[in-house]
Structure 1
Amino acid sequence: MTNLSEFIFGDREDLFQQLERDVMGKLQDGILKHGKASMLLSGGTTPGPLYERLSGQKFDWEKVWFSLTDERWVDRDNPQSNEKLIRETLLKNEAKAAHLIGLKSEGADVVVGQIKTDEKLSDLPLPSELVLLGMGEDGHIASLFPGLENTKEAMDISNKNLCQAIIREGGEIPRISMTLSALLDTKHIFLLFFGANQ
């Protein structure tokens, strides 16, 4: 049976302090049991303080593999790249020895790139120890936006691909997202959000 716990914090400092302890504990458990551990990371500004905290922890980072819950189909040095965010906030200081499998591949477009990214993700130790998710005000997680045909494909639990190309109308930047089955292939999911609207 799935266990759900809800934690409400009065301020962000307390939240990130607790989250830091929880993440380090889960990664340590994975290393003790399997010799390595993995975690899927959310982009955006919300988890940034957590990543900064983790980067300063003395740990067996060379035994840790990170990937992302989703990514915009932009170059890795683009300011909108989640991979860039992770490299600048987490993969530095003590944590620079950790491994990162980015979701942006060398495919000509996101549809071709999805195949290449799925191949790269075969190096990710699964099940992951934990997945860190944020949530948009429309209720979406990762880049699984409501109402899109790509989202339906990604949410199909029989879809065994690890990632899915997400194409939105209106000139929005294409994205690539972990599928629901990949997000659920974990021991723990942390859903992090702020504010009454969410």
Structure 2
Amino acid sequence: MHQLTEFSTRKNLDVALAQTVSQILAQAISLKGKASIAVSGGSTPKGFFKVLSQRDIDWSKVTITLADERWVAIDSQDSNTRLVHENLLQNNAAAANFFHLKQGDELTDETLTDLNVAASKTLLPLDVLILGMGEDGHTASLFPCSDEINVGLDEKNDAVLMKVQPKTAPHQRISFTFASLITSKNIFLHSCGEGKKTVLTQALNGDDPFEMPIRAFLQHPSLNTQIFWAP
């Protein structure tokens, strides 16, 4: 299932999404003393990150991570970790904790096992998940072109995190699995631009998640993916 909310400007979207997300995080802190959120990379969320970073909540009790990450140096322009540090872990949100997906030089099986254990204990279930969407309908690093897509979309997959090597995009990736992401209490798809609206329409009009993995979230019978879109 999905719910689409359209905004006239990206600024209006950023403000509304930041307000909604900060309220959810604050409620989680009030209920259980902590909160967790996974965000996505790319240029789309930068404005949202900057607005969210200024929200007045107890950020010291919030753990932020990424839905996926490229296995590149943290100072690389392609690093989502760098993006989050420069745009979200600022202002009030500088007090938040950050769970690094990219740890070490190589994504070994041992590293992946350790990260799976730590993520399961520290983060799950996520209070908030902010997804993005590529032109091919991928989300997180669940790429339709990858050999790992069947495992990645398997709801019975016990793994929290997985290696992915997309064939149509650079860099090895680490990504949360679909099975772990759907345990999130609040799921949002943040999308901007007419091109992405076309992709979204295509995703909503088809039913094969292996062709467009975002469909697995948008059309899942027991999920409510909230779509925030602006031109």
Q: TM-score, normalised by structure 2?
A: 0.79
Aligned 1:72-151 pairs, distance under 5 A: 72-106=70-104, 108-109=106-107, 111-151=109-149
1:70 shift after superposition: 0.5
Query: Is 1:21 matched up with 2:56?
Result: no
1:184 aligns with one of 158, 182, 187: 182
Change beyond 3 A, Cα 1:18–1:107: same
2:6 aligns with one of 1, 5, 8: 8
Change beyond 3 A, Cα 1:171–1:48: closer
3-state DSSP of counterpart to 1:67: strand
Unpaired stretches in structure 2, ≥5 consecutive residues: 197-231
Q: TM-score, normalised by structure 1?
A: 0.91
Q: How many aligned residue pairs are there?
A: 196
Unpaired stretches in structure 1, ≥5 consecutive residues: none
Measured against aligned partners, the alpha-carbon deviations of 1:5-42 in whole angstroms (never above 9, x if no partner) come to: 21011111111111111011110111111111101111
Q: Check the 8 A contact 1:111/1:165 in 2, yes or no.
A: no
3-state DSSP of counterpart to 1:192: strand
1:157 shift after superposition: 1.0
1:111 shift after superposition: 4.9
Change beyond 3 A, Cα 1:148–1:111: farther
1:128 shift after superposition: 1.4
Higher relative contact order (CA 8 A, sep 6+): 2
How far apart in 1 are the matches of 2:144 and 2:6? 26
Q: Check the 8 A contact 2:145/2:166 in 1, yes or no.
A: no
Which shows bigger deviation, 13-22 or 52-61? 52-61
Provide the residue aligned with 2:212 in structure 1.
none
Change beyond 3 A, Cα 1:101–1:73: same
